[in-house]
A and B are shown apart, each in its own frame.
Chain A
């Protein structure tokens, strides 16, 4: 009995001590968390790195940098050709931590709570984590000790607006904590490569076989696709073909992701994670759930398509990878995006026979396009507050924004990184860049092409810059060559022997690339990329929560509506959805959305005049 009493007393005492002790323990843990950061290993192996290049920095010691990238899809040491270039030029080694592979938002939160974000930090958006990291004192101010002026000269000279945005939006007008991606100088027109983000694409060969009927509105695709499906009801392996195959695992902020795509083809886009679609080139918007909204019209369109047997019945339950497989196997006839349809179906063997996906726009189309952004897009590259050798890091980041750095490593989507000069590309006698035969092989089969040892070895794919941060817009003109950085857009590339599919398409459409076609026919809405000169408006936590709940309701009901049994059930689900979101605070979120749209319109003024 006495023993029991004593233990319980002891336990109580422990708890009391512990609770008082741990209030201090928490913050302490944050301070001295293991810093896997810059460690200068002076193993004496002083390589060819030119000690004392621009800025007179000493490169004799190898610098190992921890790169925390929320956009990377690779974790570990940067190897291959890009690793070799960095080693030779700067004597640095990159160790990449990728939150995408390691818990996503939870990993980011854990890194933030630990108080150390590594040496170089890449944020996938500038609305939450980045401003919070600044508030928490986790990032280095580039203006401290004249770092930016001394070692970031090229950034300051070429992209002053990007620095201005960093100061005004995030640095109280004076400090610079980071710089955006896809930064450009002042250049009009769309910033994309040869393809835009949207097509839409059809199986070109089948479309031609049914006589290439005119398509005026998205609804017209349904009859066309029905005929195409009748022409080829089964693929090469005897499996059924469909027009639309959808997937739900990307829905998240976009509500039902595939239902927003026609809005984009009409030149509207969702404005952040809000309830409005905003026009690319005019100060106009409409409500997500209104009857004019192309989100709602798309739901109806897919519903009709499903009634006609055009929708893959597994759309509800499959994942994105399953859809990619179906495009590869030739089981689908329509695609919203060039980066999904033609990127997966169009093999050299198929295009040589004239088979493949190609852009077939509708008459009313005005496809959304992003203009060049002098302020940079909303990803951010920053330096951690505890970085060991900020001068050398700054020098490296600066290089990424020079023509030399951009030519090697900028890219994204179908704009594959160009690779090392002399191997995958070179400059011809007229001073024009061209892709070598090895280069075309490497770009087409990135994982199967081995890079020679003198360029770093490994496969081309593994050797690409794995930070996943296109510093300079790939479509931007390189001042040294007069051609864009993206090799797809070089004159030599466009004139290179086209496949049967390409030549047929070019002949019928009267343009070399989809981008040229859209621009020529004035079927493009370029959104100017500006900046208000103020910190961005943010939802407070409570509104954010309401918005998330409304989002999940819309998402769920959208799918139910598309797969409704009949028109009556479709309307019933629609009404249920509208009632439910109203109850969850739709009006409040809408009011914020309008303010957010006005902010965008104000921002545009900074570039339109």
Chain B
């Protein structure tokens, strides 16, 4: 964003007569000012809330009457071996789920490419609508769909398997500690595949049609065109989204895991956000603040790391 701005600014200041009118650089600054203010209010001001991590804060009682506890809540994270183990277990789940999410983040790319290759317009629209809709279904409802499909007693899948004689007794798919990570990533993509493809679809539409025409003239096959034109055309978009998802590495959100958690899979499903919810959000604002602080710091670190990698590998920086 800053590149064209400086360019314009230089150009402008050379053209205007000094002293008579406001130089363009100030004009541009004033134009950008409202956005700085909004960014400040919504992104920097809330950081003030970090102060609650150092108090035994209770809603309703002003901070000046609240005991200052220093780093007490930071220390509780590693207070004793059992506690540390719990945190490590939770971190392992977080890393696994986010890692799987990143590893599989090429799925919407493929999906978007396949979708643009559908030549029948009405069919493509139907596919796109049907795959986008799940994104708007809340996780609680997704869970009730999962429950009707997979419950032991009356679930569709178990009933079918028993009817066809594959198994004799229902399998409890939902209360099962095996493959929880894979199951979760599958549900995640079921819900967000269509939605995730939208940006790529837009990127593909933005690719110059002349490139395809030229490739046609050269006698390129459909696959060659995809490989040499479409894929490089959407790579920048892919990398931007990849970087952002690396920055969000520790923020898995909790709704999905909250809805699907039960005693059997809790060991492997409890990600950081869910852990904080289960332990602290009930009434411990200080602890919740500590965790979100640490999360922000880790996220910023990861984002710069990813950006550095991008600079190094692709010679392109995003931030």
A7 near B32: Cβ-Cβ < 8 Å? yes
Contact A136 B61 (CB under 8 A): yes
**A251 vs B287: C-alpha distance in the bound complex, in angstroms?**
22
Closest to B174 in A: A317
* A-contacting residues, B123-179, CB 8 Å: 147, 151-154, 170, 172, 174-175
Tell me whether B60 and A133 are in contact (CB under 8 A): yes
- The distance from the CB of A458 to the nearest CB of chain B, in whole angstroms, is 30
Measured CA separation A582–B45 after assembly (Å): 42
In the bound complex, do residue B5 and residue A3 qualify as a contact, i.e. CB atoms below 8 Å apart?
Answer: yes
In the assembly, what is the distance between CA of A27 and CA of B263, in Å?
42
Interface size class of B (residues with CB under 8 A): 35 or more
Q: Does B44 touch A at the CB level, under 8 Å?
A: yes
Question: A17's closest neighbor in chain B, by CB?
Answer: B40
Evaluate contact between B6 and A1: CB separation under 8 angstroms: yes
- CB neighbours (8 Å) of B283 from chain A are 105, 109, 128, 544
Of A14, A239, A240, the contact of B36 (CB 8 Å cutoff) = A14
A-side contacts of B76, CB under 8 Å: 542, 545
A-side binding surface: helix, strand, loop or mixed?
helix
Shortest Cβ distance from B104 into chain A, in angstroms? Answer: 25
Number of interface residues of A (CB under 8 A): 61
Measured CA separation A9–B240 after assembly (Å): 28
B contact residues around A209 at 8 Å (CB): none
Q: Which of A482-530 contact B (CB under 8 A)?
A: none
Residues of A within 8 A of B287 (CB): 545
CB <8 Å contact, B264 and A112: no
Q: Is A75 located at the chain interface by the 8 A CB criterion? A: no
Residue from B44, B153, B264, B266 in contact with A15 in the complex, judged by beta carbons closer than 8 Å: B44
| Number of A-B residue pairs at CB separation under 8 A | 139
Q: CA separation between A136 and B170, bound complex, in Å?
A: 55
Contact flags A20-53 to B (C-beta < 8 A → 1, else 0): 0011001100100000000000000000000000
Q: Does A317 contact B262, Cβ atoms closer than 8 Å?
A: yes
Q: In the complex, A7 Cα to B56 Cα: how many Å?
A: 38
Contacts A7-B29, A318-B151, A542-B76 given; does A132 touch B59 at CB 8 Å? yes
Whether the pair B28, A3 counts as a contact (CB closer than 8 A) is yes
* A15 surroundings in chain B (CB, below 8 A): 40, 44
B263 touches which of A115, A240, A556 (Cβ 8 Å): A556
A548 to B279, Cβ gap below 8 A? yes
Interface residues of A in 532-581 (CB under 8 A from B): 541-542, 544-545, 548-549, 552, 555-560, 563, 580
Shortest beta-carbon distance from A156 to chain B in Å = 28
Query: Would you list which residues of chain A between 237 and 273 have a CB under 8 Å from chain B?
Result: 239-240, 248
A548–B280 CA distance with the chains assembled, in angstroms: 8
Which one of B78-86, B190-198, B215-223, B305-313 is at the A interface? B78-86
Q: Which residues of A contact B37 (CB under 8 A)?
A: 14
Max chain A Cβ within 10 angstroms of own Cβ: one of B60, B80, B284 = B60
Interface residues of B (CB under 8 A from A): 2, 5-6, 9, 25, 28-29, 32, 36-37, 40, 44-45, 48, 56, 58-62, 65, 72, 76, 80-83, 86, 147, 151-154, 170, 172, 174-175, 262-264, 266-267, 278-287
What are 16 A-B pairs with beta-carbon distances under 8 A?
A15-B40, A18-B44, A19-B48, A26-B48, A109-B283, A113-B60, A129-B60, A132-B59, A138-B60, A312-B153, A318-B147, A541-B284, A548-B282, A584-B80, A584-B82, A584-B83
Known: A23-B48, A113-B60, A559-B262. 14 other contacts (CB 8 A): A22-B48, A129-B60, A135-B58, A136-B58, A248-B263, A314-B151, A317-B174, A317-B175, A541-B284, A542-B72, A560-B263, A580-B82, A583-B82, A583-B83
